[in-house]
Structure 1
């Protein structure tokens, strides 16, 4: 052999070969033909089984034989790919109307593989006969098979719109297709309406084709998505499982799933739900059971008592394949190339195919009828001169001589002469002429009818309509999938995701926060809290894991942290700094911590600043879905900072104390409801060089404890306060000294539950009994409790 070496660049070779490969798999493997809705391997399987007589009206035959026929004659590929395609055509959870009936294990909705082809048996289904009907009447073009030993159809006659009825899915090079199954009766009805009115709109067609009809049922949401898909070929719908709520004998409820979305693996779905239960991602599920049997699909999800079943279902819709999105991508081979098509184009292509099929069939039948008519006329002519015909035949040398003599004598054609000389003697009876005349009349009527179909387009369309109507009558089934117009928004109740549990949440002065179990807290006691040296417990409270912590900072911002997102640590451990949960500035620190569950609209937060500004905002405004950064609670002016946060759900007294000993008390009603970004209004009219030390709620029976920088404490009763209007200067509580005046550095509203106070300097702290500080109604500076020469200037006061 002579050696031929071509010098080609790798880019050209790869590009050319991949281009050829892509064209092949697009046209000859992965995408269905719009006319019969079949991929080449599916078409070859059906035709091979039809050719070998493996039809619905006969017995089952080993699948291996059918696969062998397909591989040997039409599809020279691996037997696994052919058998897999054959199995899929028999799975009633994949196809709305199966094209192959199979005996034996043909897989399951759990994605179990089918038994090997040597074990299963198969035959064509009854509806497949409609795809292959009239294929021997020259209705479709044939082409040579791969080795030129026989021919195979390029497309099947497909007397029903198979592409829409059973849908298709496939991936090729650069193209993919996802066409959902539809209801046979609806699709045929829409086709009939299209025949009557080719200008029918998609909206009008949707009166008949409501939407997809999946073999697994389910609930389809989103009519707009269906309409868009039918117009453009692309669209999105939501497919949701059918879920019912049943009550068990023990009073518990269970969610019962009887229909799942199309092409969802049931066993994987059950496994995923059980994993969510085991990992405690969803609270309230006791057990998940797959109770599917021969009567139908059934998944039972048993719930705890008093759990909201709708909330659990919504969570599962959101986080499992109990609900999925289905994206239409209606790509099919049209005129030899892939095309994205809407429903009108698909029906139009199918109708054009049927016009071609019926035209070719009619021509074929007309040719046969005219040939038979010609023979019948010759036989009738021969019977009229029977004696002479017999005489000529007896005197002829052989058959060929007899044919020539008959043609010459009676002006017959060669075909007529052939029919006469091969006529059997028993048919030469007087009654035979009557039968021939009846057959002649029938043939004449048939020929007239067939010619009318070919000459009259409306008559041809009527034939298509009659045959489609007959198929619709014989194969129609009730719709399995329910269609809902709107896509339902899934609202997930936090109570479903988080186990409800009471815990202790604590915060230290330096901003360390932790969540502790009641068991750990009770075992250690409040005094054994884990804190750093120089730090102290600022606040702790028993809350629920379903609550939310709102942490306010000096910069007028707040951190939104769900309690369940806090790491659970022991009471003796330190916890984590809030900056590790939500990033805050270096000079920003925590000033208060509040807890919310429902974020009620009839409650308010009052925020007060060092420079005498105050505002009231509805609690509901603080609800957010953003946890990762601080949010604005109050807009602060330059040099100002947030001091106090109060929560009220009714009108209450607010008392304000300043550094220079001024006091103002007024009702919270004087504050109007404002947004989070508002700067607020003036709370108290400050003197030059003065600033607010405390703004808190106060009520009768409470007292106010004040600490000065010189180590003095003064405690006043509620009746000393004078209720006035907001933004006034207020009354003086401290006696002004010319030399080393007292200045209030900290103050707290004291309730009857408070028994101890603690004073803090830079390096030391001093604890004492609150009741040891006598109530003062005089214009004094209080009593010294520490010596600042030894203790240092007082900076902070706490009560507990």
Structure 2
């Protein structure tokens, strides 16, 4: 039977709540990620991985003048010596520090494929090489002069710095990004010259405000340039540490030899991948969003970035740019979140606190360096004191050493021998007076280090010339010591040294700002994506609305049959036709005296034969009927003059209608048996002409009508005879003639002089003979010889004809035929096209009997 050995393992179990254990373990993990991996230190702006890469490169002596070394070697040394998370994690960090589109001032000088702004990955680390830039060397400067603390590395085989001395303000210049547990950082880069100027301001005036800092530091400066839209996001980030900055590309508009336009993008927003922009533009073209674009291509080369967007003929480049901003990454938002480690604790800092943290770090570095140099100088001066004493009595020193049996005994004998400096003319001139007095008047004893130095002293030091050198070196050291002591005693001297360092950085590495800042910025709305162009708007009697290009109608001779302007069905017919800009407001006045608003670009664009879309689908209308329409661009101090069918006239400032509401507002207070027929925009002192269906008219100056409030009734404009009603209102101007059109297609032009000015409220004078041939008056217009006129019939027939062929005749006449109408058809509306001499023939506006196009800005 074999012997069995029973080994009892003593185990200890501790009971504890699982929630408490999970909480403790998770917090430990979270703090490890926050402190040791994801967030930068506010002092040098580096994460541990970045700092360790630079330290490893410094160990390899990979300065800006050395040869490039394989990145595999750098990543391996970093991982093996300092960073225990694998070289595959180190290499991406190394690559980013060598990408000019990622870093405002690169810390790594790359050689080989380090990726591209197109999002291409870098080559494998065995193929690429790197070394440090001059900027990185500035961060490592004075590392060996006890300027920062060192701690053991992960396996305690060597020490690594907790932070770099960082003469270069890396965090402020290059920014940082990182995602920790429960928090993240996204710090924007800035311009070195501006950061230095801001630091100067804070050192000179510690109480300066953020607004004052922004005079010299206006905002971030991104490596890829671009345009910052607006300053509010910058101010928020600078004051609170959090803010959203709107970034846009820089672009120019070029014209090709064929007359087309192209948009050329030369700078894109920070962190945006160029190929994503090109592919997104192509997708928008295929999806019908960018119908104006004919081609997009990437023409970037070593000279710079260049994305070309070719436009179709007659495309509006500004509208395309706005669409590109809306649908692509040519416009992005950079969310600033200034979270950094302060004394190993994450804090959100504003721009002034970040600069102060850098300055405090530099103060500490300079003080520690000064103390290190002071201790070193004092130690050397102490040795020199002993050497000088020994040389002055060298014969006895030599005899004493010769008589000693060994070196330790010689050292003891030296330390026990009293020495006194023999003053000479040379020493008196070179050595400080207080030192001479002490050494000459009293015996001195050597210390252990001094005795060691004498024992190791070379025989050549015994010459008179070497003695003089020792004295000069001692005197220089004493001056240095006094300088170091002064620096440690006076903070102003420390600040002056920081200023000198920053000025040196400006001179060596400063460059001009790359990112422009625009003062004004408004978010893109739907209107920015619509071309500002003239269109014809048609509204039928039953409330169907549509818009069409102005060139839909070709010019015809007087008396022609015209073309079909709308596909009328059943008892529907065209009631309103006018020309308006796509960015205008349509002010729609209804039968119950309300006013609604509708942007012209929201009116559906349709063909000439289409019926249109019900306006009830576009507005929140009730049972009321549309009676008059105005289109305006801005609501200013001009006047709105209202005319009703019962002869009431009212005048109100246009600005009273500027409060746009989706459910409309009360525009005029109407009598129960009255309705609105026309609205005009006037300048406040224009002549007004009212025309009635039975051929009467009255002319008076609008100054006779007092301006009243928005919901007022108004006053009497004309006294109507029994069975008559007002059918039109005209605003008269010098050079105009009055065109009157009757329902059977007859009309006439009459000079303004034929219409004498009367007092408001009279019965008026004859305007045109109303006969069975003519029919009743449909409307009146103020026209000139250069105008064209459009006439619409109830069945939807439209004719456009020039008035240069139509001579003027008297008031009390019947007129001539202007349009042939069918037996069951009558003229329902007329409109005037006013040509602008400074534009081409296609640039026209329309004035109708029921509607009028106002002046647009």
Tell me the TM-score normalized by structure 2.
0.70
Matches within 5 A, 1:508-657: 508-514=540-546, 535=572, 538=575, 552-558=589-595, 560-562=597-599, 564-567=601-604, 575-585=612-622, 587-591=623-627, 596=631, 607-609=642-644, 613-615=648-650, 629-632=662-665, 634-637=667-670, 639=672, 642=675, 644-645=677-678, 651=687, 653-656=689-692
Contact 1:704 1:717 in 2 (8 A): no
Secondary structure of 1:70's aligned partner: helix
Deviations 1:469-492 (A, max 9, x none): 3333333333334456x3256899
Q: Give the corresponding residue for 1:60.
A: 68
Would you say the 8 A contact 1:318–1:490 is kept in 2?
A: no
Structure 1 segment 93-172 matched on structure 2, within 5 A: 93-172=101-180
1:749 matched to 2:758? The reply is no
1:339 and 2:372 matched? no
Deviation at 1:329, TM superposition (A): 4.1
Once the 2 structures are TM-superposed, how far is the Cα of residue 496 of structure 1 from its aligned partner?
7.0
- TM-superposed CA distance for 1:148, in Å, is 2.9
- Cα shift at 1:139: 0.8
Following superposition, the deviation at residue 136 of structure 1 comes to 1.1
Which residue is equivalent to 1:70? 78
Distance 2:392 2:357 in 1: 52
Contact 1:664 1:728 in 2 (8 A): no
| 1:8 pairs with 2:17 | yes
Change (3 A) 1:396 1:60: same
Q: What's the secondary structure of 1:333's corresponding residue?
A: strand
Matched residue, 2:476: 442
For 1:207 and 1:520, how far apart are their aligned partners in 2? 55
Q: Provide the residue aligned with 2:40 in structure 1.
A: 32
1:298 alignment partner in structure 2: 306
1:269-308, Cα deviation, whole Å (9 max, x unpaired): 4455555666665676554443322122333445566767
Q: Give the 3-state SS of the residue equivalent to 1:33 in structure 2.
A: coil
Deviates more, 1:282-291 or 1:33-42: 282-291
**Which is worse superposed, 56-65 or 629-638?**
629-638
Shift of 1:133: 1.0
Distance (whole Å) between structure 1 residues aligned to residue 577 and residue 457 of structure 2? 113
Asked if 2 retains the 8 angstrom alpha-carbon contact of 1:757 and 1:799, the reply is: yes
1:102 Cα deviation from its structure 2 partner: 1.1
C-alpha displacement of 1:157: 0.9
Moved more, 433-442 or 417-426: 417-426
In 2, distance between residues paired with 1:519 and 1:701? 24
Q: 1:617 to 1:797 in 2, by over 3 A?
A: farther
* CA contact 2:174–2:188 (8 Å) conserved in 1: yes
Aligned to 2:512, which of 478, 490, 493? 478
User: Distance between the aligned counterparts of 1:424 and 1:747, measured in 2?
Assistant: 131
User: What SS class does the counterpart of residue 97 from structure 1 fall into?
Assistant: coil
Give 1:46's aligned residue.
54
Alignment partners' CA distance in 1, 2:739 and 2:416: 139
Name the CA distance, whole Å, in 2 between partners of 1:283 and 1:676: 43
| Contact kept in structure 2, 1:604 and 1:619, CA below 8 Å | yes
* Distance in 2 (alpha carbons) for counterparts of 1:210 and 1:288: 34
Secondary structure (helix, strand or coil) at the match of 2:54 reads helix
With 119-128 and 236-245 compared, the bigger mean Cα shift is at 236-245
- Could you say which residue in structure 1 is the equivalent of 2:727? 695
Shift of 1:125: 0.9
Aligned 8 A contact 2:701 2:757 in 1: no
When the two structures are aligned, how many residues end up with a matched partner? 733
**Shift, 1:131, TM fit:** 0.9
Shift of 1:63: 1.7
1:354 matches 2:354:
no
- For 2:41 and 2:110, locate their aligned partners in 1 and report how far apart those are by CA, in whole Å: 25
**SS of structure 1 residue aligned to 2:46:** coil
2:844 equivalent in structure 1? none
- Native 8 Å contact 2:635 2:657 kept in 1: no
Question: Are 1:497 and 2:530 an aligned pair?
Answer: yes
Question: 2:695 & 2:625 partners in 1: Cα distance?
Answer: 27
* C-alpha deviation, 1:123, in angstroms: 1.3
In structure 2, do the counterparts of structure 1 residues 514 and 396 end up closer, same or farther at CA, with 3 Å as the change threshold? same
1 CA distance for matches of 2:277 and 2:49? 31
Aligned-pair CA distance for 1:257: 3.7
Quick check: 2:574–2:828 contact (8 Å CA) kept in 1? no
Map Cα deviations across residues 525-576 of structure 1 (whole Å, 9 max, x no partner).
9779656655555566798877776655333345544555444556666543
Bigger mean CA deviation after superposition, 575-584 or 512-521 = 512-521
Conservation of the 8 A alpha-carbon contact between 1:547 and 1:595: no
Mean alpha-carbon deviation: is it higher for 289-298 or for 314-323? Answer: 314-323
User: Partners of 1:680 and 1:325 in 2: how far apart?
Assistant: 52
Aligned pair 1:469/2:503, yes or no?
yes
The structure-2 alpha-carbon separation of the partners of 1:243 and 1:514, relative to structure 1 and needing over 3 Å to count, comes to: closer
* Counterpart-to-counterpart distance in 2, 1:434 and 1:724: 119
Find out whether 1:681 has 2:715 as its counterpart: yes
**Structure 1 residues 717-772: Cα deviation after superposition (integer angstroms, max 9, x where no partner):** 99xx999865568999xxxxxxxxxxxxx9662899989889xxxxxxxxxxxxxx
Over 3 Å counting, the alpha-carbon distance change for 1:468 and 1:694 in structure 2 is closer
In 2, Cα distance between equivalents of 1:129 and 1:41: 17
Is the CA contact (8 Å cut-off) linking 1:316 and 1:322 kept in structure 2?
A: yes
Alpha-carbon contact 1:314-1:490 (below 8 Å) kept = no
Shift in alpha-carbon separation, 1:641–1:113, aligned structure 2, 3 A: farther
The separation in 2 between residues aligned to 1:416 and 1:43, in whole angstroms, is 40
Q: Which SS does the other structure have where 1:127 is aligned? A: helix
Measured in 2, the distance between the counterparts of 1:602 and 1:233 equals: 44
1:384-423 → structure 2 map (5 Å cutoff): 400=408, 403-404=411-412, 406-407=414-415, 412-422=446-456
User: What is the rounded CA distance, in whole Å, between the counterparts of 2:343 and 2:196 in structure 1?
Assistant: 23
Kept in 2: contact 1:693–1:747 (CA 8 A): no
**3-state secondary structure, aligned to 2:110:** strand
Distance change >3 Å, CA 469–CA 581, structure 1 → 2? closer
| Shift of residue 623, structure 1, vs aligned partner | 8.2
For structure 1, which segment, 350-359 or 365-374, has the greater mean C-alpha deviation from structure 2 after superposition?
365-374
CA change 1:678–1:68 in 2 (3 A) is farther
Mark the runs of 5 or more structure 1 residues left unpaired by the alignment: 707-714, 733-745, 759-775, 778-793
Change (3 A) 1:63 1:641: farther
Q: Deviations over 1:617-663 (max 9, x none)?
A: 68898789x6x935347334574563533668885642346xxx998
Report the Cα offset of residue 53 of structure 1: 2.2
Tell me: CA distance 1:694–1:278, structure 2 relative to 1, closer, same or farther (3 Å).
farther
Q: Does structure 1 conserve the Cα–Cα contact (< 8 Å) formed by 2:108 and 2:133?
A: yes
Matches of 1:221 and 1:518 in 2, distance apart? 36
